[in-house]
A and B are shown apart, each in its own frame.
Chain A
Amino acid sequence: MSDQAIVEKLKAKFSAAVLEVVEYRGETTVTMAKEPIVEICIFMRDECGYNLLTDLCGVDYLGKTPRFMVVYNLYNIATKQRLRIKVPVEEQDATVDTVSTVWGTANWHERECWDLLGISFNGHPDLRRILMPADWEGYPLRKDYPLQGPDREPYQGRLS
């Protein structure tokens, strides 16, 4: 099934939730509302055959609203196809429902997203920091978090 056909299927099932469809360099990205994300993922896995969640991550678009995007890179091992689903997340309400019930692999990816970007996942079984120390304050991958860390003088040399 082509990417277009999958997108049509998604639109038919979740017509109100599909916000934007972009094709770029041969890759399809579907932006969807965050509320039905668990149903979307179950639908993608069971009806469309995307059985592997390759990657899950957050992106900080500081200055835009909504500020964050949570990105799900899906893969279909049978047809060798990729598809990307993104959900916008507001800064004031930085929460998304967990998909770790759909794919076990989402567990650590969501912990990492929480650890580095401060996006929390409702219903996650074990939402702890994963890469940073447990008592760390702040979310290092946010764009307003300084590169050199919170309590240090900014680097005076060139960075690029």
Chain B
Amino acid sequence: MAVKSETMTINMGPQHPSTHGVLQLILELDGEIVRKATPHIGFLHRGTEKLSEYRTYHQIIPLTDRLDYLAPMSNNLGYVLAVEKLLGITDQIPERAEQIRVLLTELTRLKSHLVWLACHALDIGAMTVFLYCFREREEITDIYEKVSGARMTSNYFRVGGLSEDLPDGLEQEIRAFAESMPGHVETYEGLLTGNKIWQLRTQGVGHISAEAAIDIGITGPALRASGVDWDLRRDNPYSGYENYDFEVPVRQEGDTFARYKCRLDEMIQSSRIILQALDKLKPGPILADCPKVCLPPKKDVVNTIEGLIHHFKIVTEGFSPEPGEIYQGIEAPKGELGYYLVSDGSPMPVRMKIRPPSFVNLQGLPQMVEGKLLADVIAVIGTLDIVLGEIDR
């Protein structure tokens, strides 16, 4: 007698610890095999794009912190670069501001990758790594706090430069941290790379080919692990990245293990970039000399009439870029983060479209899990490194 079998549809999330936020997956299961996976998103939709149409360009910066809340400075950077491009002041940004931006976005990359590794490893059963990664992340969060006053929502970059200079003595602290990072990465590798259980849970799991990954729009380390040698920092440099010496880790396998190795190698490269940026840092201005865009220093506001006028105009009206549209993409920790801005000459954008890397990368999930085991779904969600804050915006 033939065995009658039918599929079972189960719901995973939005309240599930392994979905990294409020992701809901409807899974059609045939025993342990996933036949169909349908992601449902939007539970964290806050209307960032709509809100930004009612705010001046400066007022939008704090909204961008809350997109990918694990890498706030990368969001800030993408946005301010986009506005600077729209204004045509990209070449007027002082060197020191650009270097501090690079320094802090690379720290942000480390911060984001540390949370990814911690949660990814925890999801598939390696708990120790979680504690180690959060120990290091805590140091970066402390640096964030010293720089911007906030541990997560930094709101530190400004159109034209930075909100303020680095506090005294912080450079040594960042240097010590960046020098210690390769050793920490070695510790994580010691716990995972040669671990038989880790290898079985990651090798060959969630495989995606380079063609399929490009078709679905996957970017960042997830694409580089499928053999595509493409990094915006090197290929379309911004914020002075062309002056830094770093390698772009590429793997050919396209599976979860390759993505893991790519991100770990990236962490080593990030600490190299941080050290180079520290070597380059020289005292100097941190805000471009664009009085109609950048807030003047407080002493000018209270002592000069021009300073007072500019301060008043920027705070009450903002600034008005010429009509036009631009797209600026940066290599955020999770992939290409893009801002598409349309201006009609008013102080508020007509449209700000954010291209979040997680949104696009998550689209690859059904392809990567269908026909595979249910347990692999957890590994694939982890390896895609999604943050629902930027998926839902």
Contacts and interface: CB of A to CB of B under 8 A. Distances in A.
User: Does chain A bind chain B?
Assistant: yes
A73 B54 contact: no
Contact of B45 (A80, A131, A160): A131
Interface in A124-160: 129-133, 140-141, 143, 147, 159-160
Interface in A105-132: 105, 107-108, 116, 129-132
A71 interface: yes
A59 B351 contact: yes
Contacts, number: 99
Nearest to B232: A80
A27 B55 contact: no
Contacts of A54: 217, 327, 329, 336, 338, 355
B86 A160 contact: no
B360 interface: yes
Interface string B11-37: 000000000000000000000000000
A51 B215 CA distance: 8
Q: How large is the interface on B (under 10, 10 to 19, 20 to 34, 35 or more residues)?
A: 35 or more
Contacts of B230: 77, 80
Contact of B85 (A25, A84, A133, A147): A25
Contacts of B363: 104-105, 107-108
Interface string B203-247: 000000000101111010000000010100001100000000000
Contacts of A129: 42
Do most interface residues of chain B lie in helix, strand or loop, or is the interface mixed? mixed
A70 to B, nearest CB: 11
Nearest to B326: A25
B215 A105 contact: yes
A104 B353 contact: no
A53 B217 contact: yes
Contact of B88 (A25, A75, A105, A108): A25
Nearest to B339: A55
